[in-house]
Amino acid sequence: MNQLVNKSVLVTGASSGIGAVYADRFAKRGHNLVLVARDYARMEALAERLRRETGVAVDILQADLTDAGELAQVEERLRADTRIGILVNNAGASIASSFVDQSPDEVAKIISLNITALTRLTTAVVPRFIKAGDGAIINISSVVGLAPEFGLTVYGATKAFVLFLTQGLHLELGHKGVYVQAVLPASTRTEIWERSGWDMNALPPTMEVDELVDAALVGFDRRETITIPSLPDAEQWDTFDTARQSMIPNFNQVDAAARYHLASKPHARQLS
């Protein structure tokens, strides 16, 4: 990982919010940047400030990651540019309505950005990272992916995918020198709320984006696989993950569990 000190960082969703703060923090660490988002003007303003304040080189790739052609251009940059050693998969979207009120096109767009684009960008860069024996991927997931009770069904499902993908990649790539981190923000004050149709004034108190990213980077420096900046007690995650792992030996049984055999007994049918 020491080689990453001299590597460039590609950040998606870099024009505002979490992505812009990641760009700021990595620039202040001396990393050159590749910024990816739809809003060229805002990226140029951010790039100009970071060049002036830190002296790093900043490239801009204007791209809508839900557009197959524009996504392909970013994929190619990741495959070809050996200077890029860190990928921050931050771009994401949500909608304020319930599942039944979301159109198929709206659902497809969320999945396209939150899952398909993130996965394709990761797929593009991983072979090169493996060959180099070094590299890092930061995937912005969400605590919503652990809590269907929050009601953001499609958004939460996409973030659960990002969490699972990160855990799987950690097992596949960790021993090959590639570090993969999932960051699970809780409510954070970014523009995603307003873009999704939420009234910011009606929301409960939210974490400031600078605090979120700074905490996430502490987890990055510690090489955590899962970073939940708002979780006070790390042992709660450890307990959760240990409980999950304890079930694994019981998953691959050749017979159905005895508790399901009860339904076939005569007295069980009578009771029903």
Q: Which of the residues 22, 40, 155, 260 is marked catalytic? A: 155
Backbone angle region of 177, left / alpha / beta, with phi > 0 → left and psi within -120 to 50 → alpha: left
Q: Cα–Cα distance between 46 and 117 in angstroms, integer?
A: 23
155 in active site: yes
Which among 72, 91, 98, 74 has a CA at the least distance from the CA of 19? Answer: 91
Question: CA-to-CA distance for 20 and 202, rounded, in angstroms?
Answer: 25
Contact by Cβ (8 Å): 155, 94: yes
CA-CA distance, 48 to 25, in Å (whole number)? 15
CB atoms within 10 A of CB 190: 23
- Interatomic CA distance for residues 9 and 33, integer angstroms: 5
Q: Which residues are catalytic?
A: 155
